[in-house]
Structure 1
Amino acid sequence: MTRRPTLPGASELFRRTASPAVPEDVAPTRRGTGREKHPTKITVYVSDEELLALEHARLDLRAGHGLAVDRGRVVREAVAIVLDDLEALGEDSLLVRRLRER
């Protein structure tokens, strides 16, 4: 029998203890997944300008808002927002309107 104490793991130490208070009518139904292992991968090709804009957004989130997130997290949140908008507004959603412009 070992006399070593059992210590909590990192996931227990850094887990969220309370969810932020968000009004029901504002809360989206979908959320981008956070920092976790993802079982599925897709490849998306972007232009140099799009990649630079994404990196600028990531840096702005860090410097201006105190949110240290990676580009994947930004993209997953953006996808969740667009899918919620499509589900809620259908024909009038931003995605449908922008895709029709092209």
Structure 2
Amino acid sequence: MARRVSLPTADDLFRPTAVHAVPDAPEPAAPEPEAATPLVPSGRVRHDEKMTVYVTSDELLHIEHARLSLRSAHGLAVDRGRLVREAVALVLADFDANGDDSVLVRRLTQE
């Protein structure tokens, strides 16, 4: 007899990780990103959203090497999540500032 695996639904996968208990409060409007406003990474705070990213073993080793180098050479104890959030913030700020000439567009069009 074949067993059926129960998979989570899309609602389960894309739900907020924290419940905000504010009754009858209007939802805040999403702020529009401005070209002049620099994107600042969230740093060490509790994050309400989660995203899973798969990387190769070489990419993970490169991230770990950068993390350890930041600790040994600069005295910065950062976890992989913070390192990745900082890198994403840098790339997105460059994209906002430079658009078609950004590093992100250049690298993605090389594939």
- TM-score > 0.5 by shorter chain: yes
- For residues 68-83 of structure 1, the aligned pairs below 5 Å read 68-83=77-92
Detail structure 1 runs of 4+ shifted over 6 Å in the superposition: none
Per mean C-alpha deviation after superposition, the further-off stretch among 28-37 and 45-54 is 28-37
**TM-score normalised by length of structure 2:** 0.66
Task: Between the two structures, name the one with larger relative contact order (CA 8 Å, sep ≥ 6).
Answer: 1
Q: Secondary structure, in 3 states, of the residue corresponding to 2:77?
A: coil
Distance 2:66 2:40 in 1: 18
Q: Which letter maps to 1:89?
A: N
Matches within 5 A, 1:1-102: 29-102=38-111
Shift of 1:60: 0.3
Give % identity.
60
**Distance apart, 1:74 and its partner CA:** 0.4
Amino acid at match of 2:90: I
Unmatched tracts of structure 1, length 5 or more: 1-27
1:30 CA displacement: 1.2
